């Protein structure tokens, strides 16, 4: 297979295993295993870009910054997002380069610190829902609301947390650079969904406190690059309806219409499978030739060969 454009969205389990320490060293070991699978895909002739999540990582960066605020000024959330892109990208670059060298494939791997333009009037800013950072007492939360204007919400009896918006990405600022690099380089881009920025009246960009879903950012990149395949990797081999119930049915090849029907019936959980299915539908709708795949990292190669995974296309 040659010259097939593929955008891979890596789920959290591709960067960090549950039960392992939340250290950079532990993450690198997980990323090394992940990159063995990505190297196999690259060696099959796919022109590949990688998008990754950053939820736990950016949260820890923010917590470190907040904890040290009496020693050094805390960093704004958009800057923490940029930091997470850098260090996760560095790990992927290092691990994937090694995995490709083992296979005698000489292709550069580079991370682009990527900004995603969002609409400052996006409804998500009116009711922020995405929790980030540490837990606070009611008194601390009230102080942060007053002093910094944060939106704070009580989180399941565990304390108060800051919540931010999760707007839809409209445009990837660094897309022209990705296009230049695409033919010769594996790009790690739009990490964590990209750093959310809004366009000001003078055309300049300004970072905002928000979290962009990485699956939607991967879809934006795949659509703008006119990729052939968007592959969203998660913990399960296939999406399912009636998930975790006795009548669970794993989904194989379904159409956009079928996926939309299942989505409307409430089969996909908001915090996990729903954004993946939404992104897959958006990509498949954009062009009849597009194929979206939802599967696990460990079945990625098989899914690309139509042996497993949930495949979503406009028509059968």
Q: Which residues of 204-233 are buried (b: 16+ CB within 10 A; e: fewer)?
A: eeebbbbbbbbbbbbbbbbbebebbbbbbb
Cβ–Cβ contacts within 10 Å for residue 295, how many?
Answer: 24
φ, ψ at 84 (rounded to 5°)? -65, -40
Within 10 Å of residue 46's Cβ, how many Cβ atoms?
24
* Catalytic residue chosen out of the listed positions 276, 278, 291, 299: 276
| 77-82 long-range Cβ contacts below 8 angstroms, 24+ apart | 77/132, 77/164, 77/207, 77/209, 77/210, 78/195, 78/196, 78/197, 78/207, 78/208, 78/209, 79/207, 81/54, 81/192, 81/195, 81/196, 82/113, 82/195
Q: Which residues of 180-192 are buried (b: 16+ CB within 10 A; e: fewer)?
A: ebbeebbbbbbbb
Question: Of 130, 238, 278, 299, which is the active-site residue?
Answer: 130
Please say if 54 is a catalytic residue: no
Residue 11, Cα to own-chain centre: how many angstroms? 7
Let me know if 104 is a catalytic residue.
Answer: no
Among this protein's residues, is 276 annotated catalytic? yes
| Cα–Cα distance, 146 to 219 (Å, whole number) | 37
Contact 281, 288 (CB under 8 A): no
The catalytically annotated residue of 59, 81, 192, 214 is 214
Active-site residue, from 12, 53, 192, 194: 12
| Furthest-apart CA atoms within the chain: distance in Å | 60
Asked about 214 being catalytic, the answer comes back as yes
Whether 245 is catalytic is no
Active site residue ranges: 12-13, 130, 214, 276
């Amino acid at each position: 297979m040659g010259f097939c454009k593929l955008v891979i969205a890596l789920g959290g389990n591709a960067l960090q295993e549950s039960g392992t320490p939340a250290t950079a060293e532990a993450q690198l070991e997980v990323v090394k295993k992940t990159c063995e699978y990505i190297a196999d895909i690259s060696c099959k002739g796919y022109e590949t870009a990688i998008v990754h999540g950053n939820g736990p990582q950016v949260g820890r960066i923010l917590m470190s910054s907040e904890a040290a605020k009496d020693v050094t000024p805390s960093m704004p959330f958009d800057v923490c997002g940029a930091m997470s892109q850098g260090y996760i990208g560095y790990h992927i670059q290092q691990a994937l380069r090694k995995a490709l060298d083992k296979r005698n494939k000489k292709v550069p791997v580079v991370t682009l610190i990527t900004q995603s333009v969002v609409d400052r009037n996006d409804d998500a800013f009116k009711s922020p829902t995405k929790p980030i950072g540490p837990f606070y007492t009611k008194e601390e939360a009230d102080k942060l609301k007053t002093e910094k204007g944060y939106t704070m919400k009580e989180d399941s009896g565990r304390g108060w947390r800051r919540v931010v918006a999760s707007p839809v990405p409209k445009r990837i600022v660094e897309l022209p650079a990705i296009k230049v690099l695409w033919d010769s380089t594996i790009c790690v881009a739009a990490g964590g969904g990209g750093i959310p920025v809004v366009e000001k009246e003078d055309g300049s960009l300004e970072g905002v406190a928000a979290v962009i879903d990485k699956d939607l950012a991967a879809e934006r990149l795949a659509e703008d690059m006119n990729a052939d395949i968007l592959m969203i990797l998660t913990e399960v081999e296939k999406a399912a309806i009636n998930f975790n119930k006795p009548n669970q049915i794993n989904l194989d090849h379904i159409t956009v219409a079928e996926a939309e029907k299942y989505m409307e019936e409430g089969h996909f959980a908001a915090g996990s499978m729903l954004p993946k299915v939404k992104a897959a539908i958006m990509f498949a709708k954009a062009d009849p030739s597009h194929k979206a795949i939802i599967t696990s990292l460990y079945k990625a190669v098989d899914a690309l060969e139509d042996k497993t995974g949930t495949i979503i296309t406009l028509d059968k």
